[in-house]
Amino acid sequence: MAYKPKSAAETKARDLGLALARLAESAGTPASVGVDSLRQASPRLTPLAIGQMVRKHRDLIEETLSERGLTLVDYADEGPGCGMAFTVETAQ
């Protein structure tokens, strides 16, 4: 199988998954992770980028979490200015 370079969006989706995993591991599971925590963990992840990554590359985010033994249980986006929240648990 030939190597396929990742796009910038795919790289950001992986960064989002890793940031979610780090925050969930440090807080303990189940963990509720908000957009502010994600911004502190990775300043490249703007709210707009986070929303786009979840919509377009949710499979990559979930794959990254599963590599760490975690799973994305819920994602809520209340809209601009209202916030986003992720719920991450240990995979069964």
CATH code, 56: 1.10.10
Residue pLDDT, tens place only, 59-68: 998 999 899 8
- Asked if residue 1 belongs to a domain, the reply is no
Contact of 56 with 37, CB cutoff 8 Å: no
Domains identified in the chain, total number: 1
Predicted pLDDT of residue 1: 57
**pLDDT tens per residue across span 21-50:** 988 888 877 888 888 888 888 888 888 888
2 inside domain: no
Which residue spans within 6-78 are E strands per DSSP?
31-34, 70-77
- Look at residue 15 and tell me whether its pLDDT is greater than 80: yes
What CA–CA distance (Å, rounded) separates 3 from 41? 29
Q: pTM for this one?
A: 0.81
Q: How confident is the model at residue 3 (pLDDT cuts 50, 70, 90)?
A: low
Q: Is position 3 within any domain?
A: no
Q: How far apart are CA 9 and CA 14, in angstroms?
A: 9
